[in-house]
Amino acid sequence: MSTSYLLEKALVGDRVEDDVVVTVEDGRFVDVLPRHTGDGDARPIRLAGLSLPGLANCHSHAFHRALRGHTQGSHTRGGLGSFWTWREQMYAVAERLTPETYYELARATYREMLAAGITAVGEFHYLHHQPDGTAYADPNEMGHALIAAARDAGIRIALLDTCYLASGIGKEPEGVQVRYSDGDADRWAERVDALKGDDSTVIGAAIHSVRAVPKDQIPTVSHQARGKPLHVHLSEQVAENEQCLAAHGCTPTELLEGAGALGEMTSAVHATHLTDHDLALLGGSQARACFCPTTERDLGDGVGPARALADHGARLTLGSDSHAVIDPFEEMRAVELDERLATQKRGHWTAIDLLHAATHEGHASLGFPDAGRIAVGQRADLVTLDLTSPRTAGTGAGPETAVFAAVAEDVRSVMVDGVLHETAATRHEIGHELQAAIEGVR
């Protein structure tokens, strides 16, 4: 059975077109007509506003949503807070999670993402085992909880199962980190082999960082990924670079390149503190760089060289990471606005550039290359924005409206694989669900 929708305005390719009719069948676009002529027997369902392809959140730690609003206080007395003091509070939440509470928190967080226009999430998942480090009866119980949470929230997921073996270079896991470790990369790979994907679930891989995965273990993770998404935290902190240089005599990017971990399906998350040689290696391998500006500024990480990476051949994607904010429109514009602050110049990225990063480039980095465009054969994902809100009214209804004016609250409805969600009507309900889930883990 097919259903047709009349899109008042729609981003088709690089242009916003008026009165576009799309026909959806079996979760895909089977027809996209640039202009509605009024012909045909069936009257299409009208979606008023500006419709975009589905947006991809390429870097998520779902349980970090419980930290929002709780990490800005006492630990920063005298302005001394840092990424490392924030991490201690994050570890405290990780220590308390069970498969049941993780499912509840992740489902509520993914529902918040859906309401913001996100149709697929890359979950960078390293919370694998019981608090004492022993495996659950189902060794992938926590991963299965995340997959179920995404399914029940109504979005796709790339479960980026993360290898995490050390508390730092040459250091054994400590405290809650024992929940993260499989002991070595071979045992990690054996566990991941038991995970199965489906049409809405991709099983990918991740190297937590060069701090957390020893150099000699990285090739095993890269081999396990072979053609699937491979993500890695890269040079998020200056301290990471210093530690890698002291231990290995090279930068984290150079270490990954030497271990065979860079390639077209690699996403370097953050990529904040890079040398010129790092830029050349990442661009030359056609890797992607996943920027998470709202988290990077919240943690004081710095402003990464997004434009320079793109100029060297790397491809930009976006994520919300710690969920200090879940708003893909803010992530898009922050790439440009942060670079303006860093360079004192404007015009590094066009609205279309940033929409490409947030849509088809992001989905491809998660293993969904058939998503992120309003085109025949693509997955039927749509994000429809209100053009009459106080933020969007009078802004021209073009790509710039989406990137430089809209916020998550302007999303009226979201379609995922042909299923239409009236998200504007569910925000109050999602808020209550988040409140209950967070109270359960704090």
The catalytically annotated residue of 64, 208, 270, 348 is 270
The catalytically annotated residue of 278, 301, 321, 410 is 321
Task: Dump the DSSP string for 233-298.
Answer: EES-SHHHHHHHHHHHSS-HHHHHHHTT--STTEEEEE--S--HHHHHHHHHTT-EEEE-HHHHHH
Please indicate whether residue 125 is annotated as part of the active site. no
DSSP one-letter code for 410: G
Please indicate whether residue 39 is annotated as part of the active site. no
Tell me which residue of 439, 335, 246, 328 sits closest to 57, measured CA to CA.
328
Specify the residue for token string 């928190």.
105
> Each residue of 214-245: b (16+ CB within 10 Å) or e?
bbebbebbbebbeebbbbbbbbbbeebbebbe
Enter the pTM of the model: 0.96
Give the total residue count for the chain. Answer: 442
pLDDT by 10s per residue, the chain, length 442: 899 999 999 999 999 999 999 999 999 999 999 776 655 557 899 999 999 999 999 999 999 999 998 887 654 444 556 676 777 888 889 999 999 999 999 999 999 999 999 999 999 999 999 999 999 999 999 999 999 999 999 999 999 999 999 999 999 999 999 999 999 999 999 999 999 999 999 999 999 999 999 999 999 999 999 999 999 999 999 999 999 999 999 999 999 999 999 999 999 999 999 999 999 999 999 999 999 999 999 999 999 999 999 999 999 999 999 999 999 999 999 999 999 999 999 999 999 999 999 999 999 999 999 999 999 999 999 999 999 999 999 999 999 999 999 999 999 999 999 999 999 889 999 999 999 999 999 8
Q: How far is CA 269 from the centre of its chain?
A: 10
Cβ atoms within 10 Å of 6's Cβ, excluding its own: 18
Tell me which residue of 297, 259, 262, 302 sits closest to 279, measured CA to CA.
262
Are 256 and 241 a contacting pair, CB within 8 Å? no
Element (H, E) at 82: none
Are 262 and 281 a contacting pair, CB within 8 Å? yes
Between the alpha carbon of residue 129 and those of residues 99, 144, 162, 190, 332, the distances in Å are 10, 12, 12, 14, 35
Decide: residue 75, CB within 10 A, 0-12 exposed, 13-18 middle, 19+ buried: middle
How many alpha carbons lie under 13 Å from residue 199 in its C-beta half-sphere?
Answer: 7
